[in-house]
Amino acid sequence: MSVTAGPAEPEARLRVVIAEDTVLLREGLRRVLTDAGLDVAGAAADADQLLKLVQALSPDVVLTDIRMPPTQTTEGLQAALEIRRRWPGTAVIVVSQHVETEHLFELLAGDPRGIGYVLKERVADIAQFTAAIHRVAAGESVIDPQVVSRLVARPRRDSPLETLTERELAVLALMAEGRSNQAIAGQLYMSPKTVETHVGNLFAKLGLLPGAQDHRRVLAVLTYLRR
Amino acid sequence: MNRALRAAVIAGAITAAGCLAWAAWPPTSQFAPILTSMLVIGLSFIIAGLAAWQRWPSSRLGLLFTIVGYLYLVPYALVNLANPAAFTFGNLSQGFYGAALAQLGLAWPSGRLRSRFECGVVIAEYVSAAVFGLAGMMFWNPTFDGCPASCQNLLLVHSSRPVWDALNTASGLVGLVLTGIVLTLIIRHWRSAQGWSRRAMVPLVWISCAVGAEQILTGGAFNLQLSSLVSFGLAPLVLLTGPALFVASTIRARTARGAVGAAVVDLEPGAPPTRLRDTLARALGDSTLQLAFRLPDGAGYLDTTGQVVDPARPGPGRAVTPVTEASGAVLVHDGGLEQEPQLIRLTAAAASMALEHTRLQAEVLAQLEQVRASRARLVEAGDAERRRLERDLHDGAQQRLVTLSLALGMARDRAAEADPELGSLIESASKEAREALTELRELARGIHPAVLTETGLTGAIQALVERSPVATTITAVPHERYPAAIEATAYFVVSEALANVAKHAKADGAQVMIRKFPGRLLVEVSDDGTGGARSEGGSGLRGLADRVASVGGVLRVDSPPGGGTRLEADIPCP
Torsion of the alpha carbons at A193, A197, A200 and A201, rounded to the nearest 10: -170
Name the residue facing B413 among A121, A126, A226 (closest C-beta): A126
Q: CA A49 to CA A56: how far, in whole Å?
A: 10
> A residues 155-194 near B, CB within 8 Å?
155-157
Q: Report helix, strand or coil for A73.
A: coil
The CA-atom distances, in angstroms, between B248 and each of B8, B183, B211, B479 are: 27, 20, 17, 76
**Is residue B328 over pLDDT 50?**
yes
Whether the pLDDT of residue A159 is over 90: the answer is no
Contact B455 A103 (CB under 8 A): yes
Among B402, B451, B471, the residue with its CB nearest the CB of A100 is: B451
Q: How many CB pairs under 8 A join A and B?
A: 107
Instruction: Give strand pairing partners of B308.
Output: B302
Find, in chain B, the residue whose alpha carbon is nearest to that of A29: B406
Tell me how close the Cα of B295 comes to any Cα of chain A, in angstroms.
52
Mean pLDDT of all residues in B179-198: 89
C-alpha B207/C-alpha B245 separation (Å) is 8
Interface contact B466, partner A, CB < 8 A: yes
Q: Does the pLDDT of residue B1 top 70, yes or no?
A: no
- DSSP-based three-state secondary structure for B563: coil
Helices B3-24 and B32-55: crossing angle, nearest 10°? 170
Phi, psi (5° rounding) for residue B110? Answer: -85, -20
Residue A10's pLDDT band, with cuts at 50, 70 and 90, is: very low
Who among A24, A101, A156 is closest to B471 (CB)? A156
Full strand arrangement of the beta sheet holding A115-119 = A39-44, A15-19, A61-65, A91-96, A115-119, A142-143
A128 interface with B at CB cutoff 8 Å: no
Full 3-state SS string of B274-319: HHHHHHHHHHHCCCCCEEEEECCCCCCEEECCCCEECCCCCCCCEE
% of chain B at pLDDT higher than 90:
22
Residues of B in contact with A155 (CB under 8 A): 468-471
Strand partners, B385: none
For residue A120, pLDDT over 70 is answered with yes
What secondary structure letter does DSSP report for A208? Answer: P
- The pLDDT of residue B18 is above 50: yes
| Residue among B403, B433, B454 whose CB faces A28 most closely | B403
Closest residue to A121, CB basis, from B391, B405, B444:
B405
pLDDT at A8 over 60: no
The SS3 of residue B200 is helix
Interface of B with A in 352-411 (CB under 8 A): 391, 394-395, 398-403, 405-410
The number of residues in chain B equals: 574
CB-CB under 8 Å, A150 with B450 = no
Q: How far is CA B340 from CA B56, B191, B197, B201, B316, in A?
A: 8, 22, 11, 15, 18
B425–chain A nearest CA distance, Å: 15
Domains of chain B: 3-252 (1.20.1070), 271-370 (no CATH), 453-572 (3.30.565.10)
Residue B471: strand, helix, or coil: strand
Instruction: Using alpha carbons, select from A15, A69, A22 the residue that is nearest to residue A38.
Output: A15
Instruction: Check residue B206 and give its pLDDT.
Output: 86
Full 3-state SS string of B209-251: HHHHHHHHHHCCCCCCCCCHHHHHHHHHHHHHHHHHHHHHHHH
Contact between A14 and A90 (Cβ < 8 Å): no
Minimal Cβ distance to A73: which of B444, B453, B471 = B453
Closest-approach residue (CA) in chain B for A100: B463
Are A185 and A192 in contact by the 8 Å Cβ rule? The answer is yes
Residues near A213 by beta carbon (within 8 Å), at least 6 away in sequence? none
Closest residue by Cα to residue A75 from A20, A117, A26? A20
Spatial distance between the Cα atoms of A123 and A129, rounded to a whole number of angstroms? 6
Give the other-Cβ count within 10 Å of A145's Cβ: 17
Residues of A in contact with B441 (CB under 8 A): 97, 99
pTM score, whole prediction: 0.64
pLDDT per residue over B116-137, tens digit each?
999 999 999 999 999 999 998 8
Q: Which residue has the higher pLDDT, B109 or B406?
A: B406
CA distance A102 to chain B (A): 5
Dihedral pair phi/psi, residue A66, rounded to 5°: -75, -50
Cβ contacts of A98 on chain B, cutoff 8 Å: 450-451, 463
What is the average per-residue pLDDT within A168-191?
Answer: 91
B471 at interface of A, judged by CB pairs closer than 8 A: yes
Query: Which of A85-89, B113-117, B226-230 has the least mean pLDDT?
Result: B226-230
Helix axes A166-176, A181-188, angle to 10 degrees: 130
Tell me the C-alpha distance between A70 and B446, whole Å. Answer: 24
CA-nearest of B263, B259, B246, B277 to B339 is B246
Q: In what order do the strands lie in the sheet with B329-334?
A: B308-309, B301-303, B290-294, B329-334, B318-324
Q: How far apart are CA B353 and CA B481, in angstroms?
A: 48
Chain B neighbors of A102, CB-CB under 8 A: 451, 454-455, 458-460, 462-463
Q: Tens of pLDDT along B143-174?
A: 777 777 677 888 888 888 888 888 888 988 89
**Does a cis peptide bond (omega within 30 degrees of 0) precede residue B26?**
yes
For range B424-429, the mean pLDDT: 91
> Which strand (E) or helix (H) includes residue B21?
helix B3-24
Reduced to 3 states (helix: H, G, I; strand: E, B; else coil), residue A72 is: coil
Q: Look at B354 and B220; give whichever has higher pLDDT.
A: B354
Contact A157 B463 (CB under 8 A): no
Inter-chain contact B451–A103, Cβ cutoff 8 Å?
yes
Kind and range of the H or E element at A40?
strand A39-44
- The model's confidence at residue B537, banded by pLDDT at 50, 70 and 90, is low
Tell me whether strands B329-334 and B290-294 are parallel, antiparallel or unpaired: antiparallel
**Predicted local distance difference test score (pLDDT) of residue B337:** 84
Chain A contact set for B508 (CB, 8 A): 157
Query: What pLDDT is recorded for position B536?
Result: 61
Cβ contacts of residue B233 below 8 Å, gap of 6+?
Answer: B33, B34, B37, B38
- A154 reaches B (C-beta below 8 A): yes
CB-CB under 8 Å, B402 with A121? yes
Instruction: State which amino acid sits at residue B308.
Output: V
Q: Output the DSSP codes for A123-149.
A: GGSHHHHHHHHHHHHTT--EE-HHHHH
**Cα B396 to Cα B399: distance, rounded to the nearest angstrom:** 6
Residue B516 CA: distances (Å) to CA of B11, B380, B527, B569:
88, 22, 21, 12
Question: What is the interface pTM, i.e. ipTM, of the complex?
Answer: 0.84
pLDDT for the residue A214: 62
Rounded-to-integer distance, Cα B445 and Cα B434, Å: 16
Side-chain-facing half-sphere of B425: CA atoms under 13 Å: 6
Mutation pick from B393, B406, B452 vs chain A, by most beta carbons of A within 10 Å, is B406
List the one residue out of B9, B68, B67 whose CA is nearest residue B211.
B68
State whether residue A123 sits within 8 Å of chain B by CB. yes
Distance from CA of A27 to the nearest CA of B (A): 10
Strands A91-96 and A61-65: parallel
Task: Tell me how close the Cα of B379 comes to any Cα of chain A, in angstroms.
Answer: 22
pLDDT for A38: 93
CB atoms within 10 A of CB B345: 12
pLDDT tens track for B235-279: 778 888 888 888 888 888 888 888 888 887 887 777 788 888 888
Arithmetic mean of pLDDT over chain B: 86
